[in-house]
Amino acid sequence: MIVTVASFKGGVGKTTTAIHLAAFLQGYAETLLIDADPNRSALSWASRGQLPFQVVDQWQANDIPRPGHVVIDTQARPIADDLALLAATCDLLVLPTTPDILALDALALMVQHLAGLAIAPYRVLLTMIPPYPSRAGTEVREMLATTGLPLFEGGIRRYAAFQKAALVGTAVYDVKDPKAEIGWQDYVVVGREVLAAGG
């Protein structure tokens, strides 16, 4: 299965999502994460510690036999041709967005671009959902549901454990933080939905 994580906006948890979906999928079959972002955020994350899967850039990927699963982390705001190629060459396009107006505006623009393409299925993933008592996550989920956009049932809550994982180069479940396991379980729920979508 090829899963591509894409967004028209940076800072919405794109690399965090790519890393953790790859970690989840690795539990089912050999998984490769391709870092196609010029910022090389996933490669930088991997270089600081140890991840349970291989991370390469898009040039190295051509020399590696394709494993059971591939996750692609893309650059923010891909140009139209790149977006068309990404969308046409994957099994599922994951569109992360935070529950704030700027990210939602960027999401709307991306969906508008995708509407004109013959593409693989896509789903919107709510990320960095603020903790209770904020209702931002619930309100945005309800609003997105009215648009008819395909939305993951699971969502990713905002925890400092994810920043700690990036700092030490591991998946969140390897971080000593009281919220680390809860953060990982958020991705487990989404990962199961990804597998179901690909099946």
Q: Is the dihedral of CA 158, 8, 114, 1 positive or negative?
A: negative
Question: What are the structural domain ranges in the chain?
Answer: 2-198
CATH architecture under which domain 2-198 falls: 3-Layer(aba) Sandwich (3.40)
- Identify the helix (H) or strand (E) that includes residue 93: strand 92-97
Task: Give φ, ψ of 182 to 5 degrees.
Answer: -65, -40
| Averaged pLDDT score across all residues of the chain | 90
Give the residue among 18, 7, 126 at the shortest CA–CA distance from 78. 7
Looking at per-residue confidence, does 171 or 142 come out higher? 171
Whether 17 contacts 127, CB under 8 Å: yes
Q: Which run of H or of E encompasses 170?
A: none
Q: What is the dihedral of CA 30, 41, 14, 115, to 10 degrees?
A: -90
pLDDT of residue 104: 87
What is residue 117's predicted lDDT score, i.e. its pLDDT?
Answer: 72
Percent of residues, the chain, with pLDDT higher than 90: 59
The overall pTM is greater than 0.85: yes
Position 64: which residue type? I
| DSSP three-state, residue 142 | helix
Task: Name which of 10, 63, 3 is nearest 37 in CA terms.
Answer: 10
Total Cβ atoms within 10 A of residue 34: 26
8 A C-beta contact, residue 33 and residue 18: yes
Each residue of 56-78: pLDDT tens digit? 988 877 777 788 999 999 988 77
Predicted pLDDT of residue 199: 62
DSSP state of 13: S
Encode pLDDT of 99-158 as tens digits: 988 888 888 888 888 887 766 689 999 999 998 888 888 999 898 889 888 999 999 999
Spatial distance between the Cα atoms of 170 and 151, rounded to a whole number of angstroms: 27
HSE at residue 77, side-chain half, CA atoms within 13 A, is 6
